[in-house]
Amino acid sequence: MAAMREVVFVDGVRTPFGRAGEKGMYWGTRSDDLAIKALQGLLERNPGLPHERIDDVGIAATTQQGDQGLTLGRTVAILAGLPMTVPGFALDRMCAGAMTVASLMGAAIGSGQYDLAIAGGVEHMGNHPLGIGADANPRFVSEKLVSPDALNMGITAERLHDRFPALTKERADRFGMLSQHKVQAAYDRGDIQPDLVPVAFRKPDGWGLATEDEGRRPETTMEGLANLKTPFRPHGRVTAGTSSPLTDGATMSILAGADTAAELGLSAKMRLVGFAFAGVEPEVMGLGPVPSTEKALKRAGLTIDDIGLFELNEAFAVQVLSFTDHFGIADDDPRVNPWGGAIAFGHPLAASGVRLMIQLARQFAQRPDVRYGLTAMCVGLGQGGSMIWENPHFDGKKGK
C-alpha cells in the first residue's frame, strides 16, 4: 500500500458572525448567500487556484431545509462561479459539520483520490433553529436510549457541573469573561479582521455592511455575569455569559496535497497530522472532545504535552473546562484559545470547525516556536471531533 500523501490547509476565510434572530444583521439574508459570499471571498484571495482543478466542494449544515437544503456544496459552488464540472455535497454532523468535511477531504487527498478540495459550513440559526422540523424516532426515549432532554444543550452543560463539582460557576464565569476580553484584544491587534469577508445585508432602514462579529461583549465583568439568569435550570450554573450565542455565519477553506500546493504556488498554512471522532453519552455531550483527542493523539504518536496551541470550540465554558481539567491544563493556560472563542465570536453550528482552523493557521504564522496545534469540539447527540495540525513555520531552535 502506498504511503499517505501530505495534506495541507491552504487558506480559510469566513463571514463575520451575526446574532441570530430578528435583531441580528443577517435576519434578511439567505443562508446559502452567506456561503456563496464566503466561497467567493476565498477564491478571490487565492487567484492562483485553478477552479477546474477543484475535485469537490463539501459544505456542512445542521438543519438542511429551505435555503440550507438542496445539496449546498453543489448549489453554492455553481452560484459562486465555479465550473459546472466541479461537484459538491452537503453533510451533517451537527456542530462538527465543517470539521468532518475537512477531515473527509483530507483523507481523500491523503489517499491520492483528490488533489484540491473546498471544505466549509454554514448555519443560519435565526431562520433555522436547531432541531426545527426534526422527527426523532420515539424509541430513543421510550427504550431509554437517550434522555428526553439530551437535545437541550444547556441541560447537558448543567450536567457537567453536576458530574464534576470542581467545575464551579465562578470558574465558568471567569472563563466566559476572559473569552470576551481575549477576542476584543485580538480585534484591537488586527488579528481577526484579515480573514473576514465583508457581507452586505438588508435591514429595515436600508443596507449595511458586516465587517465584524456582532455578538461580542468586551465590557463583560464577573459582577455582571454573577447576576445573570440560569435559563436551563432554577438556581443552575449555566448562563448566557458562559454559553455560545445563537449565531448566523459561514466558513470556507481550501485543502490540498502538499505536492499540488507546491505545483500551483499555493500557501501551506498548516499540515494535517491526523483526526478522530468519538461518541459519548448524549446527556453529557460536552465530554466528547476528550476521547476524540485521546484517539487522535494515540494515532499520531503524540501526547497532550506536544500540543502548543489549542483551539477549542466554546459551546459552553464548562464544556471547555471539562476538557482542560481532564488533561491537567490550567484554566488560564495561554495555549488555550489565546484569541478567545465562541462565547464571544458565536457558534454557527456546522460552520464553527473551520473557524477554529482559520484562527489556528494565523496563530501558527505568528508562533514559529509551536510545532503542533489542536482544533477540537463537542457535538450534539454525544460526540467529539479533534484534528491535529503541524506548523509549517516551526523553527526547532525556538521551540520544542
- Predicted confidence at residue 203, as pLDDT, reads 85
Nearest to 299 by CA among 107, 97, 100: 107
Nearest to 362 by CA among 1, 129, 7, 14: 14
Is residue 95 annotated as part of the catalytic site, yes or no? yes
Task: Give the dihedral sign, CA 42/46/51/53.
Answer: negative
Could you tell me which CATH number the domain at 148-190+273-389 has?
3.40.47.10
C-alpha span between 22 and 19 (Å, rounded): 9
CB 116 within 8 A of CB 9: no
- Could you state, in order of their start, the residue ranges of all structural domains in the chain? 148-190+273-389
CB 3 within 8 A of CB 255: no
Which among 51, 128, 347, 393 is annotated as catalytic? 347
- Predicted confidence at residue 222, as pLDDT, reads 98
* DSSP output for 23-82: TSTTTTS-HHHHHHHHHHHHHHH-TTS-GGG--EEEEE-SS-SGGG-S-HHHHHHHHTT-
Q: Beta strand pairing status for 307-312 and 372-379?
A: parallel
* Phi then psi dihedrals of residue 170, to 5 deg: -65, -40
Burial class (CB in 10 A: 0-12, 13-18, 19+), 204: exposed
C-alpha span between 281 and 147 (Å, rounded): 10
C-alpha cell at 99: 470539521
- Predicted confidence at residue 295, as pLDDT, reads 98
CA R_g for the chain = 20
C-alpha to C-alpha distances, 331 to 217, 238, 278, 321, 335, nearest whole angstrom: 20, 17, 24, 7, 10
DSSP conformation class of 95: B
Is residue 124 annotated as part of the catalytic site, yes or no? no
Is residue 378 annotated as part of the catalytic site, yes or no? yes
C-alpha to C-alpha distances, 20 to 23, 25, 248, 251, nearest whole angstrom: 8, 8, 6, 16
Its pTM stands at 0.97
Nearest to 14 by CA among 272, 356, 378, 379: 356
Which among 51, 124, 378, 393 is annotated as catalytic? 378
For residues 232-244, one letter each, b for 16 or more C-beta atoms within 10 angstroms of the residue's C-beta and e for the rest, the string is: beeebbbbbbbbb
C-alpha span between 4 and 134 (Å, rounded): 39
Which among 95, 124, 128, 161 is annotated as catalytic? 95
pLDDT per residue rounded down to tens, the chain (400 residues): 457 899 999 999 999 999 999 999 999 999 999 999 999 999 999 999 999 999 999 999 999 999 999 999 999 999 999 999 999 999 999 999 999 999 999 999 999 999 999 999 999 999 999 888 888 888 877 677 788 777 789 999 999 999 999 999 999 999 999 999 999 999 999 999 999 999 999 988 889 999 999 999 999 999 999 999 999 999 999 999 999 999 999 999 999 999 999 999 999 999 999 999 999 999 999 999 999 999 999 999 999 999 999 999 999 999 999 999 999 999 999 999 999 999 999 999 999 999 999 999 999 999 999 999 999 999 999 999 999 999 999 998 776 5
